[in-house]
Structure 1
């Protein structure tokens, strides 16, 4: 049985999802309270977290054991470890990997890590949620906005390059937060914001999400396994596993999820998208942007 005690890759959030069906009604009440304010709701003593969730102390103890922990202290320790991981920088991340690095080539360790990340990412995506988010991204009657952060702006740029060819009315917001109020000013209820935010989470992205949520904009968040604070106001949240033996996180699983979304939006809008592709190719021919071999 895989638990947060036996692997640094399994979060308490993931364990709750895995065991949710086996929980009693009162245990689910505590689980839901924890997920609503994660991981802060589980960082106090067992008595306090039980009182805050409106359940008994034995209920918390039973749920913790069902998740695979021997007791509340290791459960509490696991949450503290996740909280520390959320704010870790490149030096701390490298230190976490170096002592436990297996005696194999770095390429092999990378292959193992990214394979694990991709598997965990896709295993924790509900198809219904994925389909609903794709429907929102494909809604051409409403504008789609795309934004990323210091690192994830590259993902946002990739998403824009493809989605603006797939559908009309796509806006790539600049990375300069000083310009964001101009975009927010024109946002209408029902429009969509696709936002990328991985650790260390950016406060300006969180504030942007809060502002657009107040205006009735639907938010699709792509984040890491620890979950950006933007999730508190997001309509759809997708967690991507990102840890690798490096001082940096990997965007491979994030990119694979993004490409799956792009492909799904394209298929949903076909043949309208095919017509856009054909018109785009005609424009490329007129500008002679690409070299033709025939």
Structure 2
């Protein structure tokens, strides 16, 4: 029996590398809709994941459970513990509005997106990506698509203050060959691509990767085709009750990443901030209060 302080999700992640390809398919299915995907019968869980029932039985044993009933019970108890928590007990986010009000439906969706995004971030891989982004020896290129170019611009504004050698690529793919021309092995390309995925971004990633550039992709839960060539992939949940997808979870991850890069090279970044403030004072761009 696994440690009761460990969630089933954390067990799956910790044993993921030891699983077979078929078992990983099951693991991905369970994590995609956690914990609901594992609360059905073993037959239904197998059917939903597109695997056999013996595969389900083998995998839960690899996780440390005697059998599927014990695995199922652990998930149920975990869900009950979550529901009894103070956050889950709220009646409405906006107390004066009914459950069906847009504010409450939107808040529920956003909280779900944040929870799912955080639960799917591998902290070790996050730290690895931060180290790559903080490496001042290599040029950092940042690019987004039709919608995500705003995220790329936000990233560039911060990264340019934190470290040198940062390039914001325009959203026009016609200009990209000029940037690729200056890319060298070891450089970094931070990309944003969410549905509807842009073909040109995939081609850019392929060109950059072929030159030895490390590609970091921030995408949605379904994953952009760029994922097949990216070195680091981060999935953010984006669905909300709207015709548009949400960038709130993506922004949360991005700001955490920016803060981590700043922290990693803080002594140099602090000096850079001080010099930047001196330049701003010289331009008199901002009002100073005595």
Superposed pair shares fold, TM > 0.5: yes
**Are the structure 2 counterparts of residues 172 and 155 from structure 1 closer, same or farther at C-alpha, using a change threshold of 3 Å?**
same
CA distance in structure 1 between the aligned counterparts of 2:23 and 2:189, rounded to whole angstroms: 29
Report the Cα distance in structure 1 between the residues aligned to 2:17 and 2:241, rounded to whole angstroms.
38
145, 155, 161: which one aligns with 1:159: 155
1:249 is matched with: 245
3-state secondary structure, aligned to 1:254 = helix
CA RMSD in angstroms comes to 2.7
Which residue does the alignment assign to 1:192? 188
Corresponding residue pairs, total: 224
- Partner in structure 2 of residue 30 of structure 1: 22
Alignment CA distance shift 1:202-1:31 (3 Å): farther
Give the aligned partner of residue 198 of structure 2.
Answer: 202
Alpha-carbon separation, structure 1, partners of 2:12 and 2:267: 42
Gaps of 5+ in 2: 1-7, 29-49, 61-97
- The answer to whether 1:139 aligns with 2:131 is no
8 Å Cα contact 1:266/1:273 also seen in 2: yes
Mapping of residues 16-165 of structure 1, within 5 Å: 19=12, 28-31=20-23, 60-62=51-53, 65=56, 104-165=100-161
How far 1:277 sits from its partner (Å)?
0.4
Q: Does 2:265 match 1:269?
A: yes
Aligned equivalents of 1:230, 1:162: Cα separation in 2: 24
Whether 2:213 is the aligned partner of 1:217: answer: yes
- Specify the structure having the higher radius of gyration (Cα): 2
Tell whether the 8 Å contact from 2:227 to 2:233 is kept in structure 1 after alignment: yes
For structure 1, which runs of at least 5 residues remain unmatched after alignment? Answer: 1-14, 37-58, 69-101
Question: Normalised by the size of structure 2, how large is the TM-score?
Answer: 0.71
Q: Using the alignment, how far apart are the partners of 2:188 and 2:16 within structure 1?
A: 35
Cα separation, partners in 2 of 1:29 and 1:286, compared to 1, 3 Å: same
Q: Once the 2 structures are TM-superposed, how far is the Cα of residue 33 of structure 1 from its aligned partner? A: 7.4
